[in-house]
A = this chain, B = another copy of it.
Amino acid sequence: MDERREQLIAVALELFSRRPPEEVSIDDIAAAAGASRPLVYHYFPGKQALYEESLRRAGRELAGRFEEPAEGPLSDRLHRVMGRYLDFVQSHGPGFAALLRGGSVAASAGTSAVIDEVRQAAADQILAHLAVPVPSPGLRLTVRAWIANAEITSLEWLAERSVPLEELQLHLVQEFVAALTLTAAREPALAAELAGFFAGERPDGPTGLLLRDLAALFAVPGVADSLAALATGPATTD
């Protein structure tokens, strides 16, 4: 491992985290690294190669943050992972946004591959924690759709910061619990797994708090009555 090369990548990653790629030049990177322009070109054919390499490092670091011991309530595990994920989002904000918003001149098959790998690592971790022997296509889809939800929500949060980060962290976990419940509602084979999942949760964890919020919502005048009328209405005749 060449230390000078590693240092250039670290400096580039730092700059690409703070600004979109089109606003970072080889000269900026050379200056920040205390290196000459020819030295940077000695290691990398151009800015794109350096961008992609620093992105690969960032992707590897982010994927590492998804790793979590298989211990304790599932929603608490996901809550800890999301804390580390959102910390990454916050510290790499502008670069993260430029990368995922697309349409960047630096977007390429290489940058897409990094994004896909990180998404795949996230999905693999979640499915491993759910410990369903053979995840159904529906469950896989739920997991992937929730990951897209987490991405878009993070991007919006970076742009507006309209809620505290801790709320976002909790809401994303609760949305996963809701998405899992909906999937189980249409896949009877998942229902027993869901019972085990709920049995392992804590009243003060993300799932318990969600249930309490839902109970309060259903106590709002009109909500419970409308729901009861709907749920006991005429069955579909086809």
- Which residues does A use to contact B, with CB under 8 Å? 101-103, 107-109, 111-113, 115, 137-138, 140-141, 144-146, 148-149, 151-153, 156-157, 160, 162-163, 171, 174-175, 178-179, 181-182, 184-186, 188, 191-192, 194-196, 198-199, 201-204, 207-217, 220-223, 226-227, 229-236
Judged by DSSP, the binding face of A is helix
Closest partner residue, chain B, to A108 (CB atom): B103
Contacts of A236 in B (CB 8 A): 204, 209
The residue that A163 contacts in the complex, of B138, B213, B223, B230, with Cβ under 8 A, is B138
Protomer copies: 2
- 10 CB contacts below 8 A, A to B, read A102-B112, A138-B162, A141-B157, A145-B156, A181-B217, A185-B214, A185-B217, A191-B217, A192-B220, A203-B229
Contacts of A226 in B (CB 8 A): 195, 198-199, 201
Evaluate contact between A141 and B153: CB separation under 8 angstroms: yes
Given contact pairs A144-B156, A184-B217, A185-B216, a sample of 8 additional A-B residue pairs in the complex whose CB atoms are under 8 Å apart = A103-B107, A103-B111, A185-B214, A192-B220, A203-B230, A204-B233, A211-B227, A211-B231
Query: A185 and B213 in contact (CB under 8 A), knowing A108-B103, A156-B141?
Result: yes
CA distance A157 to B210 in the complex (A): 30
Evaluate contact between B212 and A195: CB separation under 8 angstroms: no
Contacts of A209 in B (CB 8 A): 236
Evaluate contact between A233 and B202: CB separation under 8 angstroms: yes
Closest partner residue, chain B, to A209 (CB atom): B236
CA distance A197 to B233 in the complex (A): 16
| Distance in Å: Cβ of A172 to nearest Cβ of chain B | 9
Evaluate contact between A115 and B102: CB separation under 8 angstroms: yes
Query: A198 and B182 in contact (CB under 8 A), knowing A137-B163, A191-B220, A204-B236?
Result: no
CA distance A163 to B213 in the complex (A): 33
Evaluate contact between B227 and A198: CB separation under 8 angstroms: yes
CA distance A112 to B202 in the complex (A): 43
